[in-house]
Amino acid sequence: MNSQPELRVLLSSEEIEARVKELATEIRGSYQDKHPLLIGVLKGSFMFMADLIRRLDFPLEVDFIRLSSYGGGTESSGRIKVGHTLRSPIKGRHVLVIEDIVDTGLTISFLLDYLRKKKPASLKLCALTDKPSRRRVPLDIDYLGFTVPDKFLVGYGLDWDEKFRYLPDICFIEEES
C-alpha cells in the first residue's frame, strides 16, 4: 500500500445518517425507560456514538473504554488489554456497547466477557458495521448498521494507521493491482 491510497466511498454520510436514525429508533424502543449505560469502544466508535446519542432523546449515561491488542500488525491477536477503563458502575445497569466495526470479533468478545463478570442487568451490542467473512468467534450483534465486505475501511471514526478518521463517509482503500 503506498502513502497516498486511493479511497472509494462504500457508505456515504447520507446513508450512514439514515441508518443511524433507524438504529436510534430501535434502541429507543428497548431502552427509553431503562436509563441505560452506553459504552463506546475507543477510538473508532467516537463519531458513531456522538451521532447515535444525539438521536436518543431519553435519559442515558455514556462512558468509554479503550482496548488494544497485544502485538502489532493489522490482524487482531486475540490477546486484549484494557487501557482506559470505565468509571461507571456496571452492576445492575442496562449496558449497551457501541462499536464501529466487528471484524474477527475477538475484541468485542473479550469486552462482553469482561463486562458480563461485572453483573449488568442486561448486556447488548450495537455495531455500525460488521465484516462476517472475517469472524473467528461466534457473536450476536443486537443492533447492526451495515454488513460490509472484506475490504480495508476508513472514515467515520475508522482509521488506517491513525489517518482518515475524520472522513464523513466510510470508504475502502482500493487495492493496488
What are the catalytic residues?
103
Q: Which stretch binds ligand PRP (CB under 6 A): 2-10, 39-47, 82-90, 142-150?
A: 39-47
* From candidates 102, 126, 153, 154, binder to ligand PRP by CB under 6 A: 102
CB nearer to ligand PRP: pick between 25 and 133: 133
User: Interface with ligand PRP includes 47 (CB under 6 A)?
Assistant: no
- Measured in degrees and rounded to the nearest 5, phi and psi for residue 7 equal -110, 140
How many CB atoms sit inside 10 A of residue 11's CB?
A: 20
- The window from 4-12, 97-105, 117-125, 168-176 that contacts ligand PRP (CB under 6 A) reads 97-105
Residue closer to ligand PRP by CB (options 57, 113) is 113
* Shorter beta-carbon distance to ligand PRP: residue 31 or 110: 110
155 lies in the site for ligand PRP, by CB under 6 A: no
Query: What's the half-sphere exposure (Cβ side, CA atoms, 13 Å) at 23?
Result: 25
Q: DSSP letters of 57-115?
A: -S--EEEEEEEEESS-SSS--S-EEE-S---S--TT-EEEEEEEEESSSHHHHHHHHHH
* Half-sphere exposure in the Cβ direction for 164 (13 Å, CA): 20
Q: Beta-carbon neighbour count of residue 16 at 10 Å?
A: 22
3-class SS of residue 28: helix
Interface pick for ligand PRP out of 49, 103, 130, 154 (rule CB under 6 A): 103
User: In the block, which residue shows the cell 458495521?
Assistant: 129
Least distance in Å: CB of 37 to ligand PRP? 18
- The correct pick among 44, 120, 145, 155 for binding ligand PRP (CB under 6 A) is 44
Decide if residue 106 touches ligand PRP (CB under 6 A): yes
Taking CB under 6 A as the criterion, the residue among 16, 27, 98, 107 binding ligand PRP is 107
Contacts to ligand PRP by CB under 6 A: 41-44, 76, 99-108, 159
